């Protein structure tokens, strides 16, 4: 039953990430979507994919975005 909750957080995280004016918040919110999807993979019986997604989707990609924001500008004009 709990997997439906993670589906909801995945979509909510995506929508919220795109609604932020602060790009650093957007970057962190992509991590929430990535992490929810990683947990969903676990429920969908794919533990190895879940591990990869947990590292790439929840840590590496948000860090990439945060670095890009740090190197450019934080607020959306």
Residues binding another protein (CB under 8 A): 1, 3-4, 7, 10-11, 14-15, 17-18, 23, 26-27, 30, 33-34, 37, 40-41, 43-49, 52-53, 56-57, 60-61, 64-65, 67-69, 71-73, 76-77
Q: What is the smallest separation between the CB atom of 64 and another protein, expressed in angstroms?
A: 6
Rounded-to-integer distance, Cα 24 and Cα 45, Å: 33
* Residue 24 Cβ vs another protein, minimum distance, rounded to whole Å: 10
Half-sphere exposure of 50 (CA within 13 A, CB side): 11
Distance CA 13, CA 28 (A): 9
């Amino acid at each position: 039953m709990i997997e439906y909750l993670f589906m909801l957080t995945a979509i909510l995280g995506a929508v919220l990430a795109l609604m932020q004016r602060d790009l650093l918040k957007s970057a962190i919110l992509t991590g929430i979507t990535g992490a929810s999807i990683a947990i969903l993979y676990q429920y969908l019986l794919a533990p190895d994919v879940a591990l990869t997604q947990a590292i790439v989707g929840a840590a590496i990609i948000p860090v990439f975005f945060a670095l890009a924001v740090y190197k450019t500008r934080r607020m959306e004009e």
